[in-house]
A and B are shown apart, each in its own frame.
Chain A
Amino acid sequence: MGGNAASPAYSAQVAPYSFVPKVFAAQQALARAIQAEQRLIQAIATQEGGLSRRHKDCLFRTVASAWQNDCCRAIDPGTSSNQSENDSALVAFAQKLARYAPWFSRRDVEALKAAGFDDPAVLEAVQTIALSQMLCTLAYALCPDAEWQPASGIPPASPSFAANLEYTETLGPYLQTRVAPASGFRVGALFREHFGFVPNIFAEQMLRPDVVEAEAEALEQILIAEDVLSRIRKENILLAISAANGNTYFVAVHGQMLSVLGVSAEHSDQVVQGEYPPDMSAADVALLNEVRKLALPAAVSPGKFDPGALQAHGFTEVQIVEAVTMAALTNFLNTLQFGLGAAPDFPPRRIFSPKDLHRSAAPSRLTFDETRPEDADVPFVARVQNGDRDAFEDLVRRHSRRVFSTLAGILGGTDDARDATQEVFLKAFENISKFEGRSKFSTWLISVAINTGTDLLRQRRPSESLDEVADDEGFRPRQIQSWAENPEQLLAASERNDLVREAVLRLPPKYRVAVLLRDINQLSTEQAAAALGLSIPALKARLLRGRLMLRESLAPHFIRTENRSSNAQLR
């Protein structure tokens, strides 16, 4: 994005927080967006309420380090070298919310309150972090200039942060103080006009009605204005990025918004899944594929944002700026929700957990582990290795579902799998001194699970092992009839689950485990091969065979009814 120097007015506006005004210069084709952003900055960053400016600077710096983006880091090196305990609680809070928003929970809010921050301060902290995410999104997409390469000395995640990294499903809202809007509160009508109600995410912030007003203006100027991109396109951006971020609330609310605008729920579901509806234009597909790359740092990015790809589909500069601004606003809103735990205003069609982050990263099937900046388990493992047994609890909680599903897939029975899951964790605890960090801890743990599961299987059925299978040479697809366009719709979810379960359990073990690790547990090819002690080509060959065998089992349930008699022929 080209752009002239920022106007003096913008520089004055943002100077107190050292935002590089180039972010605004790059958006100058869209003055209404800059105006809305500055209003948010004024309400959130420059007002001192529950948090001091020094605290807010500290939050900005922490978020910027999560983006590895120096653009909106406040330049105040003195602060970080003089942190109080109170600051480290704030930094840990910001690191969790900025870097790992989908894992954020009530516990994080309680930890900050235990450090002496009250509800108004927590609310301001969440709003400040959300604003920083918005500015970092803009800077990342619009100002990739070399001058903003990550500065040296960006702090890594602190130990206190690492101690809080776990996923527990906790219900919000997290703040206890709740106030009704004052009688003169003027944006209630605006929400009702555009949404039909006041969404919970805004009701949760009524301790700061001035901020809610600034947010309402941002919605009007960025989402609702239709002079550049249509409202539906922007709602789709909001939906696609919220799905990439794993934000249940915004997927539910804006799926509903789209249905009010006449878009079918099935259409929105496809956008959420990253599998675009057949009637969607190539330009719209390109738009959503590109903006998904601007999701929060915790999401799996399918690559670097490329405005050139949008220009190639005929998008103009101002349209691209608006798409990026809409992405930034989405990250702002999603962060507010992750931080405040606002409950969805509508029953969600889909509830996300961190497990889903990889699924929305279409079209590539990157897994969560491949893009994590570091092995997040390592600090916990080190603590356990140093004798802190309690640190093992976090590892159990984080990995129990993956270990369980591996064992359930090997053993079949749920009760057996639950017992075996406990055995796996006990073995891992006993052997943790042998874990040297050559692989990810999760890979090592899964290999313990596979060994435990196959030992149990061998005791039960001596003829079955991972390496010896019934003769499957000469396997050749037999079912060659076209499947229904949306086969999922032919069976209820519970029937599909039963069908998949039976089909997976019928696979010979060596193919079954490959499918379990790659397609059910979503390990990368490299991780799955490492966990099984196989070469990558060997793993790929087993996976392909397993998938083809599964296809064969599932086909009778999913072929098009009109095609039941016509089988194409292999040559």
Chain B
Amino acid sequence: MLSCAEFLAEFGDYLDGAAGPELRAKLEAHLNECKACQVIVDSTRKTIRIVTDSDSFTLPADKVEPIVTDVMARIRQKRL
């Protein structure tokens, strides 16, 4: 049976649905017994969802064209 520290070192692939069957079985055996790690898995999944869906670093749609225009103006001025 894994300890919590071992579980927390290994569960990255599990979060991404990329753990192989053997690892998954080991992790789930621990999860079945450990309320704390259940909470951590659940809240980490929610963290990923919140971060992925946030627009914290999104360039607003109306700011794309000014960047394109400025970059292309500078490129067209360059001498090859």
Offer 6 A-B interface pairs, CB within 8 angstroms, sorted by A: A390-B72, A408-B59, A418-B59, A422-B70, A501-B57, A525-B16
Q: Mark A484-501, 1 if CB is under 8 A from B, else 0.
A: 000110000100111011
Do the beta carbons of A418 and B43 come within 8 Å of each other?
no
The 8 closest A-B pairs by CB, nearest first: A501-B56, A544-B12, A568-B36, A404-B59, A405-B57, A500-B54, A408-B57, A570-B4
Contact of A547 among B5, B34, B48, B64 (CB under 8 A): B48
Do the beta carbons of B46 and A483 come within 8 Å of each other?
yes
Do the beta carbons of B53 and A488 come within 8 Å of each other?
yes
Do the beta carbons of B80 and A401 come within 8 Å of each other?
no
Q: Mark B21-54, 1 if CB is under 8 A from A, else 0.
A: 0000000000000111101101110111111111
Q: Which A residue sits closest to B72, measured CB to CB?
A: A393
Interface centre among A408, A480, A481, by most B CB within 10 Å? A480
Query: Is the C-beta of A104 less than 8 angstroms from some C-beta in chain B?
Result: no
Do the beta carbons of B54 and A477 come within 8 Å of each other?
no
Do the beta carbons of A422 and B71 come within 8 Å of each other?
yes
Q: Which B residue sits closest to A487, measured CB to CB?
A: B46
Contacts of B65 in A (CB 8 A): 397
Q: Which A residue sits closest to B58, measured CB to CB?
A: A405
Cα(A395)–Cα(B76), bound, Å: 15
Do the beta carbons of A554 and B42 come within 8 Å of each other?
no
Residues on B lying within 8 angstroms of A by beta carbon are 3-5, 8, 11-13, 15-18, 34-37, 39-40, 42-44, 46-59, 61, 63-65, 67-68, 70-72, 74-76, 78, 80
Do the beta carbons of A504 and B64 come within 8 Å of each other?
no
Do the beta carbons of B12 and A480 come within 8 Å of each other?
no
Interface size class of A (residues with CB under 8 A): 35 or more
Contacts of B40 in A (CB 8 A): 477, 480, 548, 551
Do the beta carbons of B51 and A421 come within 8 Å of each other?
no
Query: Is the C-beta of A176 less than 8 angstroms from some C-beta in chain B?
Result: no
Contact of B52 among A387, A409, A522 (CB under 8 A): A522
Known: A400-B64, A400-B68, A571-B34. A488 touches B17 (CB 8 A): no
Q: Mark A370-394, 1 if CB is under 8 A from B, else 0.
A: 0000000000000000010110110
Do the beta carbons of A418 and B67 come within 8 Å of each other?
yes
Q: Which A residue sits closest to B65, measured CB to CB?
A: A397
Contacts of A400 in B (CB 8 A): 59, 64, 67-68
Which of A52-60, A112-120, A123-131, A358-366 faces chain B? A358-366
Closest CB in chain B relative to A476 CB, distance in Å: 8
Do the beta carbons of A429 and B75 come within 8 Å of each other?
yes
- A501-B57, A570-B4 are known; give 20 further A-B pairs, CB within 8 A: A359-B52, A389-B72, A396-B72, A397-B65, A401-B64, A418-B63, A476-B5, A476-B8, A483-B46, A488-B50, A498-B56, A501-B56, A504-B51, A504-B56, A520-B51, A541-B12, A569-B36, A570-B5, A571-B3, A571-B4
Q: A interface, by DSSP: helix, strand, loop or mixed?
A: helix
Cα(A494)–Cα(B35), bound, Å: 32
Known: A480-B39, A520-B51. A393 touches B56 (CB 8 A): no
Cα(A387)–Cα(B79), bound, Å: 12
Contacts of B13 in A (CB 8 A): 540
Residues on A lying within 8 angstroms of B by beta carbon are 169, 275, 359, 363-365, 387, 389-390, 392-393, 396-397, 400-401, 404-405, 408-409, 417-418, 421-422, 425-426, 429, 476-477, 479-483, 487-488, 493, 496-498, 500-501, 504, 515-516, 519-520, 522, 525, 540-541, 543-544, 547-548, 550-551, 554-555, 558, 568-571
Do the beta carbons of A396 and B51 come within 8 Å of each other?
no
Known: A364-B17, A405-B58. A397 touches B64 (CB 8 A): yes
Cα(A515)–Cα(B44), bound, Å: 13
Contact of A477 among B8, B12, B58 (CB under 8 A): B8
Do the beta carbons of B36 and A554 come within 8 Å of each other?
no
Do the beta carbons of A483 and B64 come within 8 Å of each other?
no
Do the beta carbons of B35 and A568 come within 8 Å of each other?
yes
Contacts of B35 in A (CB 8 A): 568
Q: Which B residue sits closest to A571, measured CB to CB?
A: B4
Cα(A400)–Cα(B67), bound, Å: 8
Contacts of A397 in B (CB 8 A): 64-65, 68
Contact of A426 among B3, B59, B68, B74 (CB under 8 A): B74
Do the beta carbons of A547 and B75 come within 8 Å of each other?
no
Contacts of A421 in B (CB 8 A): 59, 67
Contact of A481 among B16, B39, B44, B48 (CB under 8 A): B39
Cα(A571)–Cα(B36), bound, Å: 8
Do the beta carbons of B72 and A519 come within 8 Å of each other?
no
Contacts of B36 in A (CB 8 A): 480, 568-571
Q: Which B residue sits closest to A483, measured CB to CB?
A: B43
Cα(A280)–Cα(B4), bound, Å: 32
Contacts of B57 in A (CB 8 A): 404-405, 408-409, 417, 501, 504, 516, 520
